[in-house]
């Protein structure tokens, strides 16, 4: 445990639990929290590795079936555009990416806290657009689960099928961007000491999240998750102004 930040690991566990229950995925919490401890590009690299384990755990724990149609219509464009976003992230200053992330989190959470009943029509066009946008956001900013979750919610999937399908799509996204981030130089040797801990946290957090999910209505926790996202987004923006 030498030179390993235990507080960061605890926050990663909390992010995984909340991400599992809220349906947004842990990256929407993990990325801004990670920015307090690492540079933005390092956070992108760690997020991709962390999510591979996290999503494999969800696929195993919620293995009641996958929606193959959504795997194709949402997953295929997501994988293509996560590569595009990951490649573009190399040419954008990390401080600018953090600002975009903060504004995105605040804007996203406020919009859906105010417009609670907003939804997408469950058609092929929206599935393709939602998948592309979520993949691009995941590659560029490190998080796209919130957009994908919102898109998939339109199809009224049973809870375990929703999580399993979303996790499988996320797994394909993370596997793709891991190679892109590695090629970009985002995965550093001095950060690899966190990988074994994050792999365990991915499994443990998904397991705890599944147990809690039984007792908490999705609609109520969705609002709580959005509130957390709002706070993290505000803190991210304030932190940037303090640094400058």
Band (79; pLDDT cuts 50, 70, 90): very high
pLDDT tens-digit series, residues 205-220: 888 988 887 787 766 7
If one compares 212 and 226, the residue with the highest pLDDT of the two is: 212
Helix 195-213 vs helix 40-61: angle between axes, to the nearest 10 degrees? 50
pLDDT tens-digit series, residues 174-215: 888 888 998 998 988 888 888 889 889 988 988 898 888 778
Predicted TM-score of the model (pTM): 0.76
Radius of gyration (C-alpha) of the chain in whole angstroms: 16
Where is mean pLDDT largest: 44-53, 75-84, 110-119, 163-172? 75-84
Q: What are the CA-CA distances from residue 130 to residues 53, 168, 192 (Å)? A: 24, 16, 32
Residue 159 has pLDDT above 90, yes or no: no
């Amino acid at each position: 445990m030498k030179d390993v930040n235990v507080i960061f690991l605890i926050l990663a566990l909390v992010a995984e639990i909340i991400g599992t229950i809220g349906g947004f995925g842990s990256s929407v919490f993990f990325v801004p929290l990670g920015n307090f401890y690492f540079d933005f590009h390092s956070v992108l690299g760690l997020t991709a590795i962390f999510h591979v384990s996290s999503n494999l755990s969800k696929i195993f724990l919620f293995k009641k079936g996958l929606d193959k149609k959504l795997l194709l219509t949402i997953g295929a464009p997501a994988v293509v555009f996560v590569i595009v976003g990951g490649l573009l992230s190399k040419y954008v200053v990390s401080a600018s990416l953090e600002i975009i992330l903060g504004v995105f989190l605040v804007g996203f959470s406020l919009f859906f806290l105010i417009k609670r009943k907003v939804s997408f029509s469950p058609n092929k066009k929206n599935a393709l657009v939602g998948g592309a946008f979520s993949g691009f956001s995941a590659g560029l900013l490190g998080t796209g689960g919130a957009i994908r979750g919102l898109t998939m919610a339109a199809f009224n999937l049973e809870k375990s099928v929703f999580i399993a399908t979303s996790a499988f799509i996320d797994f394909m996204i993370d596997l793709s961007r891991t190679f892109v981030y590695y090629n970009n130089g985002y995965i550093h040797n001095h950060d690899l000491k966190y990988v074994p801990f994050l792999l365990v946290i991915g499994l443990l957090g998904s397991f705890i999240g599944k147990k809690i999910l039984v007792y908490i209505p999705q609609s109520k926790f969705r609002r709580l998750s959005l509130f957390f996202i709002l706070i993290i987004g505000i803190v991210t923006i304030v932190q940037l102004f303090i640094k400058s």
